[in-house]
Structure 1
């Protein structure tokens, strides 16, 4: 992609995550939202219902951005340089491929696709894309300050090697989107494992690399849909686990936490504690680390914008790594349903 002073942005899908992307793209210097696209035009007349976190843009005045209900027309007429793709997961593959073939870069919401084989189709299109078009999958935790700091400690070995790590992500059943609850259909969303738990699976991949094997257990509803999953990852050393749930009571709210034990310290993220993020060294006083302000959504978009502008950026994520995280979740689901450990080929 030739370097441009202003990158033209299209937002495809204008539900909760579409509005999240929209609000953060608007903050970017050197980018301009030129098009919004959603078949459901009601999305533009009133703010969408909230998701399991806050922060989505609730504006109904979209400035000079053109509004479309047809993806092909948006590509042809608005001529975006990049799109944020925030539609349901089954649409990620065909629309990503179509955009890349048109020379348009894609920031695709996680999960990348329903299967690793479908992810490979997207990778193939990215490798062949004209105009230097790029593909990024929006694994926001890799950019979230409290996880960025954890990554720094793991890589630097400031407190020695990781002895054990546990990650949790609990939510009430998703029901915040308008219209049909496609999240509840595992064939469309991938269920709790692929839509919610993949955040922590990808973090395990980010911190420790591709596991050698996974051993999972799960709980299912009366229709056989997975509601809870817990996994032990064989990363060759540390004892690493993660659990995710969609079956919490609505009154509980949302929880994302971790406890990482190093040889010489413990780091805990838990919003219910007096100090939600704290490092407890073996020697010296506990302390709250100084973090960058803002959220991962903003930082992931800023990173991708810098990539599109040809700037040198730190290595944080590749589309291949995003595909690998889908592979891991697939192995977790097979392990949970079979009751057996599933090994992952290199």
Structure 2
């Protein structure tokens, strides 16, 4: 049995706990949960009869676990991830892994020194519709990519503990928290762009609330949009449209069917996607399906069972994606206007 220590039992921690419940039959359990809000830790722990800790560092030092899953606010990731690595535990870190160059270098150095398995929660790489697209492009199923559009839009994220998402120094704004999903996936799909341009929309305090990025891959333009300040009733959507030589592929999380291929020869094809895990949840936030989170945590725990390093969403890859978003933010004038 792979024993998980879960640090952070808020919105994302609760998502992960629900996925681990589905993985119990796969030989995975949560053995320890830590959150400074005891009621949150108790709620996440009860399904597993896990030990509850008031502090994440106490869990790292004391808990009998094989892996540490860090679901804390972004600005807290580095301290806990490094401590878990130094304790010799496999580590899963929610995205974005961190935001500062010094933190990136420190985590990469710690990973190299400890040799423990480390994976970052860039879950889109393992989200069914995105994994299908990656496979289709890799197989050259419809010829080379000619252009691509990615979008991720949402109402304001009001569920965050102490409003940390709306504090630029804590979250990195929508650019680092939401936009990075598509930035990381585009790098996964097409590699690093030759050039990057970015423009943003800000709130009255000057904080980025919407970002548009354009990537240059030669004769292959890519645009990426993210926004998280639409009205409360506005539906969350993740979306892509890929034009290839022999087909155009469209995915929308709000459509049914969600994924459609339009061959150049005519008609349309609805691919059959293998769903690892289908579930609805009442955790809140802007995503109801746990499928993508389940996929990444199953992949992570499978690597631990096999005594293998993760090959998808590695620490090194995740750092490169953060660096690319930081380049966009710099070109757009900073996280806070004049900041």
Question: Do Structure 1 and Structure 2 share a fold, with TM-score over 0.5?
Answer: yes
Residue 7 (structure 2) pairs with residue 20 (structure 1): no
1:290 and 1:274, CA in 2 relative to 1: closer, same or farther beyond 3 A?
closer
Asked if structure 2 preserves the Cα contact closer than 8 Å seen for 1:109 and 1:137, the reply is: yes
CA RMSD, Structure 1 to Structure 2 (Å): 1.8
Specify the SS of the correspondent of 2:178: helix
Residue 72 (structure 2) pairs with residue 75 (structure 1): no
The whole-number CA distance in structure 1 between the counterparts of 2:58 and 2:319 is 29
Structure 1 runs not aligned, ≥5 long: 1-5, 47-58, 339-346
1:164 and 1:45, CA in 2 relative to 1: closer, same or farther beyond 3 A?
same
The whole-number CA distance in structure 2 between the counterparts of 1:45 and 1:34 is 12
1:131-178 deviation digits (Å, cap 9, x = unpaired)? x42111011100011000110111111111111100000111110134
The whole-number CA distance in structure 2 between the counterparts of 1:11 and 1:273 is 33
TM-score, L = length of structure 2: 0.89
Match of 1:51 in 2: none
Match of 2:29 in 1: 32
Asked if structure 2 preserves the Cα contact closer than 8 Å seen for 1:268 and 1:278, the reply is: yes
The whole-number CA distance in structure 2 between the counterparts of 1:95 and 1:313 is 20
Match of 1:136 in 2: 119
Asked if structure 2 preserves the Cα contact closer than 8 Å seen for 1:115 and 1:330, the reply is: no
Asked if structure 2 preserves the Cα contact closer than 8 Å seen for 1:210 and 1:324, the reply is: no
TM-score, L = length of structure 1: 0.87
Structure 2 runs not aligned, ≥5 long: 278-290, 335-339
1:96 and 1:273, CA in 2 relative to 1: closer, same or farther beyond 3 A?
closer
Asked if structure 2 preserves the Cα contact closer than 8 Å seen for 1:116 and 1:326, the reply is: no
The whole-number CA distance in structure 2 between the counterparts of 1:193 and 1:228 is 8
Match of 1:52 in 2: none
1:296-319 deviation digits (Å, cap 9, x = unpaired)? 111111111121122679943321
Query: 5 Å matches for 1:88-127?
Result: 88-127=73-112
Match of 1:226 in 2: 208
Match of 1:278 in 2: 260
Asked if structure 2 preserves the Cα contact closer than 8 Å seen for 1:278 and 1:288, the reply is: yes
Superposed displacement of residue 226, structure 1: 0.3
Specify the SS of the correspondent of 1:171: strand
